[in-house]
């Protein structure tokens, strides 16, 4: 089975390193981006992740604006998108779902192993014929 690829987008370098290490140790190839612009460059350069973990609150465009841009440009069309943020506001959750997020995890209430388990669960569900979010 090919190695799963994950792209982490967060402006907190400590969290990027921590999640990248956790997922790498579980067999993922990981890339990180500390801004939406950096993440768009990674995707435009051809990186096609299986999963993107996206923070909402970022300098410049936020994570939800990033999701809109990715969909508009048809980048990472088959990637699972998991919002990984400290924003637990129902409006943010609703916006993320409307944009096609496959999961929503509040960082403050989850440890890295729980995030990994949730991502693995979402990816396993996707493999059972669940289509990628389309039309966004």
Q: With contact defined as beta carbons under 8 Å apart, do 107 and 16 qualify?
A: no
pTM of the entire structure?
A: 0.89
Q: Please check whether residue 106 lies inside any domain of the structure.
A: yes
What's the structural domain count of the chain? 1
Domain that holds residue 105: 5-126
CATH code of 15's domain: 3.40.50.2300
pLDDT digits (tens, 9 = 90+) for 20-56: 999 999 999 999 999 999 999 999 999 999 999 999 9
Q: Please check whether residue 132 lies inside any domain of the structure.
A: no
Q: Please check whether residue 104 lies inside any domain of the structure.
A: yes
Place of tokens 């609150």: 57
Distances (CA, A) of 47 to 79, 80, 83, 110, 130: 11, 14, 19, 27, 22
pLDDT digits (tens, 9 = 90+) for 81-116: 999 999 888 999 999 999 999 999 999 999 999 999
Q: With contact defined as beta carbons under 8 Å apart, do 7 and 39 qualify?
A: yes
pLDDT of 60: 86
Q: Please check whether residue 131 lies inside any domain of the structure.
A: no
Q: Please check whether residue 135 lies inside any domain of the structure.
A: no
């Amino acid at each position: 089975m090919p190695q799963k690829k994950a792209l982490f987008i967060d402006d907190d370098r400590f969290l990027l390193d921590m999640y990248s290490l956790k997922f790498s140790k579980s067999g993922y190839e990981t890339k990180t981006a500390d801004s939406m612009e950096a993440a768009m460059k990674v995707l435009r350069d051809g990186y096609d992740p299986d999963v993107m973990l996206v923070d909402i609150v970022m300098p410049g465009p936020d994570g939800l604006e990033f999701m809109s841009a990715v969909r508009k440009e048809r980048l990472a069309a088959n990637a699972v998108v998991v919002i990984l943020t400290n924003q637990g506001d129902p409006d943010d959750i609703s916006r993320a779902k409307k944009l096609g997020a496959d999961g929503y995890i509040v960082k403050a209430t989850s440890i890295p192993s729980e995030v990994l388990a949730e991502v693995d669960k979402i990816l396993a569900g996707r493999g059972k014929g669940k289509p990628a979010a389309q039309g966004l």
